[in-house]
Copies of this chain bind each other. A is one copy, B any other.
Amino acid sequence: MLKIVLLGGGNVAHHLFTQFSKNPKVELIQWYNRRGSSIEKFEQHTEITTRLDTLKEADVYIIAVSDNAIAELSTVLPFQDKLVVHTSGNTPLQNIDSKNRAGVFYPLQSFKKDKKVDWSKVPLLIEASTENDLDFLLELAKSMSENVYKINSQQRSTIHLTAVFVNNFVNHLYSIGSDLCEVEQIPFEVFIPLINQTTKSLNTTTPKVAQTGPAVRGDTNTIESHLEQLKDPLHKEIYKSITRSIISTHGREKL
């Protein structure tokens, strides 16, 4: 059994708790949160503590707190030479105080409080400063998910940035689309097949090859009429910036 102490009381910590509770390879021996109130209802399932000086001996300490609290929490841990990992995509390995062995256990997923997570599909990106620790994290990760990747800090940083483009930004484009439709009383569901088509094509072709639309066709009439239709100057800016980038990516091929 892999002995784990979990630290933090937010979304990621809660979803990790749920996974660990069901995972036969894992023993969650303790769950720490500064404020006990958010996790004390789980005390039948694991030991709950609000005091760092009561932390038990474990194979790994998983810090699942907000990015800017990781460094401080790792500094006040009352032990050394243990494996301490954080779960953040955008926090350096070095933010784990060097008195312990640092690692990263980064689940590439958007966690929402009340939304169930299918951990078996969540890509787990792991990183550690020693081979032994990496092997340990690999074993833990494989007990949770089919999609495990060993990466370095530079790759993790790029993955975090890419996730903003392909997840957060894409979602905002859906949000803009949904707002545009609402004004004209168009049900947004009309776009679901088109959206699914785009997503599905990622499995068979590169998005560069799959690109369609007025920008890649060099259809300036349509581009101009779209810009006229857009009322919100922020939407216009987005339209222009992406159109410029599409033209720059594909333009030369057509000349």
Mark A residues whose CB is within 8 Å of B. 67-68, 90, 108-110, 112, 115, 121-123, 125, 147, 149, 151, 154-155, 157-181, 183-186, 188, 190-199, 201-203, 206-208, 210-216, 219, 221-222, 225-226, 229-230, 232, 234-235, 237-242, 244-246, 248-249
Contact assessment for A172 and B242 in the assembled complex, using a CB-CB cutoff below 8 Å: yes
Contacts of A195 in B (CB 8 A): 166-167, 170, 199, 202
- Give how many copies assemble into the complex: 2
Task: Tell me whether A230 and B176 are in contact in the complex, defined as CB-CB below 8 angstroms, given that A123-B190, A169-B242, A198-B167 are known contacts.
Answer: no
CA A175 – CA B170 in complex, angstroms?
12
Do residues B109 and A154 form an inter-chain contact, with CB atoms below 8 A?
no
Residues of B within 8 A of A108 (CB): 190-191, 193-194
Contact B237 A193 (CB under 8 A): no
**A241-B234 CB under 8 A given contacts A166-B191, A195-B170:** yes
Knowing that A169-B213, A172-B245 touch, tell me 12 more A-B residue pairs with CB under 8 angstroms.
Answer: A67-B222, A123-B191, A151-B186, A158-B184, A161-B226, A165-B173, A167-B198, A167-B213, A172-B207, A175-B206, A238-B242, A241-B241
Q: What is the CB-to-nearest-CB distance from A87 to chain B, in angstroms, rounded to a whole number?
A: 15
- With A158-B180, A171-B211 in contact, do A234 and B229 touch (Cβ < 8 Å)? no
Give A232's nearest chain B residue, CB to CB.
Answer: B245
Please give, as numbers and ranges, the residues of chain B lying within 8 Å of A237 by CB-CB distance. Answer: 241, 244-245
> B178–A207 contact, CB under 8 A?
yes
Q: When the two chains form the complex, which single residue of B166, B171, B183 contacts A177, counting CB atoms closer than 8 Å?
A: B166
